[in-house]
Amino acid sequence: MNSPAEALTYPLELRDVTYAYTEDAKPVLREISFLVEPGEWVHVTGDSGSGKSTLAQLLCGYLPRTGGGFRSGKLSVNEVDPAEEGAIREVAERIGVVFQDPDAQLVQGRVEDEVAFGPENMCCDLSEIERRVVESLAEVDLSDYRMANVHNLSGGQRQRAAIAAVLSMETPILVLDEPAASLDAAAKERLLLLLDKLQGQGRTIVTLSGRIDEFAAAAGRLIVLEHGNIILDGPSEHLLEQKRMSLVKLGLLPDRIQIGLGGDTSSTLEAEAEAEVHFPIAPSIKPLLEIKDLSYAYDLNKGNVLKNISLSLNAGEWKLLCGENGSGKTTLSRLFMGLLDPPKGKVWWQEQDIARLSLPEIAQDIGYVFQQPEHQFVANTVLEELLFGPRAVQGLGPRERTPEPMLEQAKALLAIAGLQGREHISPYMLSGGEKRLLSVAAAMIVPKKLYILDEPTAGIDLHGAAKLGALCREAVAFGAALVMITHEPELFAGEKASIWRMNQGSLKTGDSLFRN
């Protein structure tokens, strides 16, 4: 006979859940067991590759029903197994999931249509749909963008649109994978207050991240994954106090005494030791990039996105481009690269008007790493992805052997990025943090004069941030300029980097250097 506790209905129930992407692959999750009570807020954390995103996709039924793979053990969402055939509607009414990549779930065109899509499929009447759209957009501060095209939004705004689309479903369970990865500080605070309110209304909430952040502290319970296993599960406050050093070693918390990057000191020093860091090349007298009084608008009827921007960038300089969501950071960086057409006479690359250069000409000197690394992957394995650029530069055919020096360089970069031993798996099988490191390494293996990295730290653990810093130091040491768009400049305290700060389309370039 079941005890009273066993007779309870749990919103989420996992017993001995194991999952592997292929039948002969190592399990990504191994015999995971936990129960989530009604109205509980649980935060799941773990380093890159620990299985967090896989867990989120299992909870909503994407895995294995759509994404494939092999799952064993019991998993129920309000007494429904999300993997069961025919359970799609039942699961969609029970659990809403915001994935790590918002673009993967934004399927309409307009923000309004994205947020209305779920209620429409639930056959809500028009007045109910309107109520849900208005309230959900207000909760994420996107009411003014209701009629906007989602693809014209910033990364943080798209993440908020994905959150609104899930909120409009009004499911009793919410799962958010890296919910603040692209959010600025103000948006992050609003989301924390919103989740606290939803929990107060009785919603069950699961958040997941690669670092212990504000969401971990706000949740009452913390679950820590390592290599697909649960190694800690208990009250957040207790674990943060009693298991702090274990969490530091995992790269989930910064050490109190920080050296270099804001992560674990040992991982930082190991990354530095693996990188062959050379003495910086002195910047040239003339700037690589110069912008003169640049204003830019996507639609002249809606005003300028960028306003009267002037700046210069020299070889060997590292700039952190910061600012709130929608302040113009990505727009500015894409004008650097010619991905957007700049006005003539405003953006100059090595004293040439970039408006008069073709994209292939620009790409010879400038490498761009997008927010979502999957958008740039072209090869079947990690090593092939890394070698794709240099092989193309040398004009090597598919059957021609990779020269040994090129192969050695690729292996050295894999070591710096912490991807040794992962050479022969698909890039898509990497964790979110590992994908970002691979995309940066793949850009930097081909020498460029400027590298632009768009939110490379989103969702990355502190060990990964240290490895990213090592890759950046290597590039700058060879004389390249580096522009990194980030909401987390604190991760690079101690680096020879300075801040460019965007505010409502204007740029401030005078922020002081970090300590050196």
Q: Domain total for the chain?
A: 2
Asked whether residue 389 is domain-assigned, the answer is no
Q: Are residues 288 and 202 in the same domain?
A: no
* Other CB atoms within 10 A of residue 341 CB: 12
Distance CA 436, CA 425 (A): 15
118 and 200, same domain (yes or no): yes
Question: Which is nearest to 421 in space by CA: 411, 431, 429, 408?
Answer: 411
pTM: 0.86
55 Rama class: left (phi>0) / alpha (psi -120 to 50) / beta: alpha
Residue 382 falls inside a structural domain: no
| C-alpha to C-alpha distances, 37 to 29, 194, 396, 456, nearest whole angstrom | 22, 20, 57, 35
> Cβ distance 225 to 50 under 8 Å?
yes
CA angle 131, 133, 134 (to 5 degrees): 65
- Are residues 279 and 238 both part of a single domain? no
Question: H/E element holding 18?
Answer: strand 12-20
Side-chain-side CA neighbours of residue 3 (13 Å): 2
The residue range of the domain holding 105 is: 4-247
> At 435, which amino acid appears?
K
Within a domain: residue 398?
A: no
Specify whether 294 is located in the same domain as 208. Answer: no
What pLDDT score does 300 carry?
78
**Domain shared by 323 and 231, yes or no:** no
User: What is the CATH classification number for the domain harbouring 493?
Assistant: 3.40.50.300
Q: Is residue 186 part of a domain?
A: yes
Is the distance from CB of 432 to CB of 459 less than 8 angstroms?
A: yes
Do 195 and 281 reside in the same domain of the chain?
A: no
Q: Do 171 and 311 have their domain in common?
A: no
Go through 293-329 and write b for each residue having 16 or more CB atoms within 10 A of its CB, e for each that does not.
ebebeeeeeeeebbbebebebbbbbbbbbbbbbbbbb
Distance CA(497)–CA(60), nearest Å, equals 41
59 plus 149 within the same structural domain: yes
Same domain, 111 and 224: yes
Residue 465 — φ and ψ, nearest 5°?
-65, -40
Report if residue 417 sits inside a domain: no
Question: Per residue of the chain (516 residues), what is the pLDDT tens digit?
Answer: 444 445 568 999 999 999 998 888 889 999 999 999 999 999 999 998 899 999 999 999 999 988 899 999 999 999 999 998 788 889 999 999 999 888 888 887 899 999 999 999 999 999 999 999 999 999 999 999 999 999 888 889 999 999 999 999 999 999 999 988 888 999 999 999 999 999 999 999 999 999 998 999 999 999 999 999 999 999 999 999 999 999 999 999 987 544 333 333 333 333 333 333 533 444 456 899 999 999 999 887 778 999 999 999 999 999 999 999 989 999 999 999 888 999 999 999 999 999 999 999 999 999 999 888 888 899 999 999 999 999 999 999 999 999 999 999 999 999 999 899 889 989 988 888 899 999 999 999 999 999 999 999 988 899 999 999 999 999 999 999 999 999 999 999 889 999 999 999 999 876 554 444
Q: Which of 247, 282, 299 is the last residue of a domain?
A: 247
Closest CA to 108 of 43, 70, 164: 164
* 232 and 276 co-located in one domain: no
Residue with the two structure tokens 């460029």 = 448
Does residue 275 sit within a domain?
A: yes
Please state, as a whole number, how many other Cβ atoms lie within 10 Å of the Cβ of residue 418. 23
Total residue length of the chain? 516
The answer to whether position 220 is within a domain reads yes
Q: Output the pLDDT for position 511.
A: 59
| Same-domain status, 54 and 85 | yes
* Residue-level pLDDT at 221: 97
pLDDT of residue 104: 81
Residues of the chain with pLDDT > 70, as a percent, come to: 91
DSSP structure string for 176-204: EESTTTT--HHHHHHHHHHHHHHHHTT-E
Give me the pLDDT at residue 285, please.
Answer: 67
Residues 316 and 239 in one domain: no
3-state secondary structure of 347: strand
Q: What is the pLDDT of residue 152?
A: 84
The reply to whether 421 falls in a domain is no
**What local confidence, expressed as pLDDT, does residue 204 receive?**
98
